[in-house]
Structure 1
Amino acid sequence: LVPYINEKIGKSGRIVGLDIAEKMIQRAREKFSEKDFPNVNFVVGDIMDYNFSDSFDFIICYSSFPHFPEKLQSIVKMASLLKPKGKLIICHSESREKINNLHRSLDKPVCSDILPTGQEVADYMRSAGLEVEIVIDDDDKYVVIGIRAAL
């Protein structure tokens, strides 16, 4: 998503890529060098422990949410980092069923990393004070978008 988002936000925008897996961050840094993407910062960390100094217009969890151990608490944390009218987007380019079946077929620790239904995630977002804009949980994709209220 980095090149697409970078094109949309321009040189004045900023992207923070956060992942708990050091190897994923290393790979991202190799793919998207600081020379070519000076406004992108990749950080190794857990969303629950990471303290950002500012807030965000968008937080996107792309193909990662099943791996969050504390799903409701993670959504609450991410919602707190959004600017007014900011959006939290949890998405996968495959169906929940396909993702969950894949994870169940793998060894520990991934075998228990399950993606909840779109309605469950929507409920988590509402609990975190977000207004749910979109829920798509079908045979092709998974998208749940919540918006923080304007002040």
Structure 2
Amino acid sequence: MKPELQRRVQRYGWDYSSPHYDAGWQHQLSPAQERLLKKSNLQKGAKVLDISCGTGLVTIPIARAVGSEGEVVGIDLSEGMIQKAAEETEKKGFSHITFEHMDAEDLDLPDSLFDIAINSLGLMYYPNPDNAIKEMYRVVKPGGRATALVWGRRSACGWTELFPIVDRRVESDVCPLFFQLGTGENLHKTFQKAGFEDLRSDRFDMTLHFDSDEQAITAAFLGGAVALAYRKFDEKTKNEVHAEYIESIKSYSNGSGYEIPGEFVIVSGRKSG
């Protein structure tokens, strides 16, 4: 898929996912995202960039950590995600968060502006994640840090039959290299190639809990990467893919819901200076 087309697919897909994302993923991803923020070593008064901020699940904890004397900028390619994040932060009374519609591979931001740049589960969706990590390097101050979280190896993630189930009905080509950065030392090497030093890597397993078939289906088809392709299905096809997906995760059933294994990788690095 050509990069511009891939960006358009991602933009409209996440616009469509935005009303459903929190219901499917907020509690499931929270432990991994908390670990990401701990590794980011956020300090009071810091200026932080949250890249691919989505609905603000990471942005809001960042804002709490840096305090009112700090500043947080959240950017995302999806206007639907940004709108939802802005509504949530306004409701919670945060005045030191701003959101902007922006491409992570071409940040419309000055050099050396932020103390920390954070990317939580966004890099897998970009046409060229190397460019995005180079942009993270460019916009952090000398001595500043960047931290990224990605999914790990395909074989260690129990929900991955989702992609072939959808692709058998429609060629989505949503993220053909989804697991590449989380395999081996690929993310570490990409940070190193961008110029980051003092690199630290953390690979870990974490169980994703879903309360019911309905929540697992919402996360997989409405709140995630295949939402745009799923939107094309008629009701018969939707019922078929629901049944196939539930069959693919049945070994992780706990009786009422599911405990699905997931693997994640966090890499952080410091800009020299």
TM-score by length of 2: 0.49
Q: Using the TM superposition, give the Cα deviation of residue 33 of structure 1 relative to its aligned residue in structure 2, in angstroms.
A: 1.1
Of stretches 102-111 and 4-13 in structure 1, the one that deviates more from structure 2 is 102-111
Structure-2 separation of matches of 1:99 and 1:75: 27
1:65-84 counterparts in 2 under 5 A? 65-84=123-142
Gaps of 5+ in 2: 1-57, 207-263
- Determine if the alignment matches structure 1 residue 114 to structure 2 residue 237: no
Distance 2:162 2:97 in 1: 30
The question of whether the paired residues in 2 share the 8 Å contact of 1:104 and 1:112 is answered with no
Q: Distance in 1 between matches of 2:65 and 2:147?
A: 16
Taking structure 1 as the reference length, the TM-score comes to 0.84
Aligned to 1:124: 190
SS in structure 1 of the partner of residue 118 of structure 2? strand
Looking at both structures, which has the greater relative contact order when contacts are Cα pairs under 8 Å and sequence separation is at least 6?
2
Kept after mapping to 2: 8 A contact 1:125/1:132: no
1:29 aligned onto 2:103: no
Q: Distance in 2 between matches of 1:88 and 1:100?
A: 28
Show the 5 A alignment for 1:32-71: 32-33=89-90, 36-53=93-110, 55-71=113-129
Counterpart amino acid of residue 15 in structure 1: V
- The total of aligned residue pairs comes to 149
**Contact 1:118–1:135 (CA under 8 A) maintained in structure 2:** no
Is this contact kept in 2: 1:34–1:40, CA < 8 A? no
Cα distance, 1:50 vs structure 2: 2.5
State which of 82, 90, 95 in structure 1 corresponds to 2:148. 90
Per the alignment, do residues 18 and 7 of structure 1 end up closer, same or farther by CA in structure 2, a change over 3 Å counting? same
Contact 1:103 1:113 in 2 (8 A): no
Q: Do residues 136 (structure 1) and 202 (structure 2) align?
A: yes
2 CA distance for matches of 1:102 and 1:38? 42
**Larger-gyration structure (1/2):** 2
Choose 101-110 or 41-50, whichever is displaced more.
101-110
SS of residue paired to 2:90 = coil
Deviations 1:32-62 (A, max 9, x none): 1177111101111102333213511111111
What is the distance in 1 between the residues matched to 2:109 and 2:67? 21
Q: Greater CA deviation, 14-23 or 111-120?
A: 111-120
Mean Cα deviation higher: 80-89 or 108-117? 108-117
Deviations 1:44-100 (A, max 9, x none): 1102333213511111111211011111121111111111221111114x6443288
Point out the structure with the larger helix share.
2
Q: Cα RMSD over matched residues?
A: 2.4
SS at 1:37's partner residue? coil
Q: 1:100 to 1:46 in 2, by over 3 A?
A: farther
Residue matched to 1:148: 271
Query: CA shift at 1:12, angstroms?
Result: 1.8
- Matched residues in 2 for 1:76 and 1:131: separation? 13
Q: Which has the higher strand share?
A: 1
Percent of aligned positions that are identical: 26
